[in-house]
Amino acid sequence: MQRIDHPLLSQSLGSQKTLTSFHFGTPGARPKVTIQASLHAEELPGMLAAHHLRPLLEAADRAGKVLGEVVLVPVANPIGLAQRLDHKPMGRFELDTSENFNRHYPDLAKAVFPQVKGALGADAQANVTLVRKAMGQYLADWQPTTELESLRRTLLTLSHDADYMLDLHCDCEGVVHFYTEEPCWPQMAPLAHLLGSRAILLAKNSGSGPIDECLSGAWWQLAEAIKGAGISAPLPQGCCSTTIELRGEADVSHALAQGDAAALHAFLQHIGVLACDIPVQIPAALCQPTPLAGSETLRAPAPGVVVFAAQVGQQMRKGDLVAEVIDPLSGQSHAVRAGVDGVLYARIRDRYITSGGELGKIAGAIPFRTGELLGA
């Protein structure tokens, strides 16, 4: 195991933050998996899961059982982790720019297509190697001018050449659920089942540039660009990535984190990154994938006190009562009902809401939304 500290661009005189990565196996060995936690810095279940995964990886490394390469980033956002206001963590948005830490990653397909289009050939694996090299060069040439840009560049440098990239998050209150792109789902299905995912939300470019889609989206976008340019050259899906929501912000316990770490470890064995003596048994699916465009965001029709009638993980039918919003001044109660059939996979933690505020999300099976599919 090797620990590497990556200094970020200093934001101000006399201060500098550092991103730390842990490396297992042989650099350049395949498959390569990058696992990062808490890019939204107040989302801590993934950080604790990474803490419990690390000794499992260290033991495998000592035993010579790391056949590929694993990069573990337990604290993916030292900037956001240091942000607090009125004793509350502020780790989702950078306070200086108000930018979401998991948005606005660069379009890697657009960046490297001009460099690779004339060098692609009939060998699919050689094309993958060519594209990864071009991505690495693009990132090496990128000169960040802000601390946030340097964080994005560092995270991408660690993961741009990964076969798999797992981004560990959580919701406010929720069950385990997955976001992944449609081309990645077949490869990610075993991990979703190992973790017991209760909702799986698929899209092809959900918008806003999150890091997982920056990495996996580059490959299918490049493949489409190659075809559109009339170039006959095979390009496989060189990276499969996913955002894994490990329940809710308060679901931080050793028991849960150890279970999540064991599932991640089993997935690494399943895909051949770690050696194992007995084939990993993949549990039965707890749900079927649904389109992210079919996910309903429930909003408050008025301000007031929130009283939930439905629990996260509960299967809803259209018309079912999800919550009431109580106005204690007028005495009115406003019912919020499910507009689609599906599981209530996430809801807010706060129990006071302003008019139009987001209350929760239901994984509907029929697409009805277009445009930007992710929330702020």
DSSP for 9-29, please give it.
PPSSTT---EEEEEEEE-TT-
CATH number of 291-363: 2.40.50.100
- CA-based angle 96:374:228, to the nearest 5? 105
The CATH superfamily assigned to 2-288 is Zn peptidases (3.40.630.10)
Give whole-number Cα distances, 287 to 44, 185, 196, 283, 363, in Å. 25, 13, 9, 12, 11
- Each residue of 284-302: pLDDT tens digit? 999 999 999 999 999 999 9
Residue 373 pLDDT: 78
Residues of the chain where predicted confidence (pLDDT) is lower than 70: none
The CA-to-CA distance between both ends of the chain, in Å, stands at 37
Name residues whose C-beta falls within 8 Å of residue 136's C-beta, 6 or more positions apart in sequence. 157, 160, 161
pLDDT at 74: 98
How far is the C-alpha of 271 from the C-alpha of 164, rounded, in Å? Answer: 10
- Range 124-132, long-range pairs (CB < 8 A, 24+ positions): 124/234, 124/235, 124/236, 127/233, 127/234, 127/235, 128/235, 128/236, 128/238, 131/218, 131/219, 131/222, 131/235, 131/238, 132/160, 132/161, 132/238
Domain boundaries, the chain: 2-288, 291-363
- Burial group, residue 98, by CB count within 10 angstroms (0-12, 13-18, 19+): exposed
Total length of the chain:
376
Q: Give the pLDDT of residue 206.
A: 86
Q: How far is CA 220 from the centre of its chain?
A: 18
- Separation between Cα atoms, residue 241 and residue 187, nearest integer Å: 9
Residue 333 CA to residue 336 CA, distance in Å, equals 10
pTM of the predicted model, to two decimals? 0.97
Contact 169, 91 (CB under 8 A): no
Q: Which residue has the tokens 């693009």?
A: 138
Neighbours of 366 (CB within 10 A): 11
The DSSP code for 330 is: T
318 and 368 Cβ atoms separated by less than 8 Å: no
| Cα–Cα distance, 194 to 176 (Å, whole number) | 11
Confidence (pLDDT) at 288: 96
Q: Which two tokens stand for residue 320?
A: 């079912």
SS (H, E, C) 213-233: HHHHHHHHHHHHHHHHCCCCC
Tokens read off for 71: 């990069």
